[in-house]
Structure 1
């Protein structure tokens, strides 16, 4: 179809539209109703030539699915410390403790000092007081190369567990003897205790939690209490090694324990100059000692 025919057809359609609109206007002005043809034409015209009124908003759609978590953001600055809360209620008082304190061995005596608030821990007897024991000093035989290297305070009444009678060649423990006067240098005054068995007492100080043995001193530092003083003793220099202990300056002996049967031995300790500075130490002089608590 050429352009002239297209223009002619368009004019015919426009004329038809004009007539239809005129007819619709007359119908609307003359009566309340419309013919089906007129109504259809009007609808057709409305769709083609006029904008309709805005309709009501539609309903919200369904919620979408949750997305994936995003990356963690940076840590924020620390906030200010809040005000202190009110104190809580006071709790119930706990049970009384045992008082703590300290324990030491008084070598050469069967009792604890009675002027330092000290009680005997054991003595092998049944008692209602705090009693542990006054016992027997013991250790390894002086010439044995093995065994323990320290003196021990043994109770008078041992308690046995599983045992095999007879010596099996394992380890041994003997009692201890004083050897204070073997070379004529006993530091103890009064009757000789040479070759007598050495007693000991295990003592508890309830009010003082620290203990200290100081060699070469007879007095305690300021603020400390002296439990006892005496002389430093150990095994002889050419025997197998033991430990240095402080033996009370007024030693006792174990009844019935006299006799040269050896065992663990207690010799006075002499100062030996060289790496030990003299003065103030003196060559060959027997050393003192003191046991202190605080």
Structure 2
């Protein structure tokens, strides 16, 4: 009987080894421990059955249910009952290794979590290559460049041009030709001055503004008109469509792309007087009505070429220099 049980145990152990070699030690230990307990219970059960079959016992094998009926062997020894066989089968099932099952299916996706805090700004990357130039846009309308302003010396009007307008006409003035101080330039004074804080009378503590006269007693380039000692008028003109202006001495025409406003002769103070500036007097000058007295003040003289450091030719000694005012 005991040999049969051990043979069965050996079969169980072999099966366990076949199923799980890598966990054999742990399973053997568990099976042996369990088997020891079962054997103790089986041994006790066999002892109890032997006592039942002993003479004088009131229990009979034939009267017990099949689940507890004993099976006799050929040698007359009591063998296992069906209940015992069931226990051994149960023991064999209990000795089966617990292999891992197949992975289950993936669960449903969980809900999105809350956004985390924004991380720090990373360093700026390298500048990429320059892209191709885009298509040229349509040309816009001509704008107003602000125009230009110039003084037309010797005239009270501006050139007859749709783009040119008169700001005001006035009287040419400047410092007295005998004064070493005061301004060194000619100005175009308006005919109707406006006053601020003033003191009447001559205090002799400041500079003086004088009117200007033509000085053309001998060399008068303005043929057909007598201008000597006459007061000089002037006009301040505005050109709306051309933002640059230029006075060119010794020329009567403008460079290509420029517009001639007027032409004339170069004039300034006399060579032994205190210096003033060179201005372009219109070639068809006017005079101020009633201003023909020899009052002096600021004076205008023609300018002649003087050879030497000034190359002759193309300049000629003693010739009066022309001038032109151009805008663009």
> What's the TM-score, normalizing by structure 2?
0.58
Distance (Å, rounded) in 2 between the aligned partners of 1:246 and 1:78: 56
Per-residue deviation at 1:165? 1.6
* Contact 1:107–1:200 (Cα < 8 Å) also in 2: yes
Q: Does 1:118 align with 2:184?
A: no
**2:151 paired residue among 105, 109, 116:** 105
Distance (Å, rounded) in 1 between the aligned partners of 2:276 and 2:198: 27
Distance (Å, rounded) in 1 between the aligned partners of 2:132 and 2:313: 65
Distance (Å, rounded) in 1 between the aligned partners of 2:322 and 2:132: 61
**2:200 paired residue among 132, 142, 165:** 165
Per-residue deviation at 1:189? 1.2
Q: Does 1:154 align with 2:180?
A: no
Cα distance, 1:115–1:98 mapped onto 2, change above 3 Å = closer
Distance (Å, rounded) in 2 between the aligned partners of 1:161 and 1:97: 38
Cα distance, 1:163–1:278 mapped onto 2, change above 3 Å = same
The equivalent of 1:221 in structure 2 is 255
Distance (Å, rounded) in 1 between the aligned partners of 2:297 and 2:287: 15
* Contact 1:189–1:250 (Cα < 8 Å) also in 2: no
Cα distance, 1:203–1:272 mapped onto 2, change above 3 Å = same
* Contact 2:145–2:242 (Cα < 8 Å) also in 1: no
Cα distance, 1:291–1:165 mapped onto 2, change above 3 Å = same
Distance (Å, rounded) in 1 between the aligned partners of 2:269 and 2:148: 27
Displacement over 6 Å in runs of 4+ = 80-84
Distance (Å, rounded) in 2 between the aligned partners of 1:247 and 1:102: 19
* Contact 1:153–1:201 (Cα < 8 Å) also in 2: yes
Distance (Å, rounded) in 2 between the aligned partners of 1:80 and 1:288: 57
* Contact 1:136–1:198 (Cα < 8 Å) also in 2: yes
Per-residue deviation at 1:162? 1.6
**2:235 paired residue among 174, 181, 201:** 201
5+ unaligned residues in a row in structure 1: which ranges?
1-28, 31-71, 85-92, 122-132
Distance (Å, rounded) in 1 between the aligned partners of 2:146 and 2:305: 37
Q: Which has the higher helix share?
A: 2
> What's the TM-score, normalizing by structure 1?
0.64
What is the total number of aligned residue pairs between the two structures?
217
Matches within 5 A, 1:209-248: 209-248=243-282
The equivalent of 1:175 in structure 2 is 211
What secondary structure sits across from 2:241 in the alignment? coil
* Contact 1:116–1:227 (Cα < 8 Å) also in 2: no
What secondary structure sits across from 2:149 in the alignment? strand
Report 1 or 2 for greater relative contact order, CA contacts < 8 Å, sequence distance ≥ 6: 1
The equivalent of 1:253 in structure 2 is 287
Per-residue CA distance 1:159-199 (angstroms, 9 max, x = gap): 11122222222111100000022xx1010011211000000
Distance (Å, rounded) in 2 between the aligned partners of 1:174 and 1:266: 12
Distance (Å, rounded) in 1 between the aligned partners of 2:151 and 2:173: 13
Cα distance, 1:222–1:97 mapped onto 2, change above 3 Å = closer
Distance (Å, rounded) in 1 between the aligned partners of 2:232 and 2:193: 17
Distance (Å, rounded) in 2 between the aligned partners of 1:199 and 1:258: 12
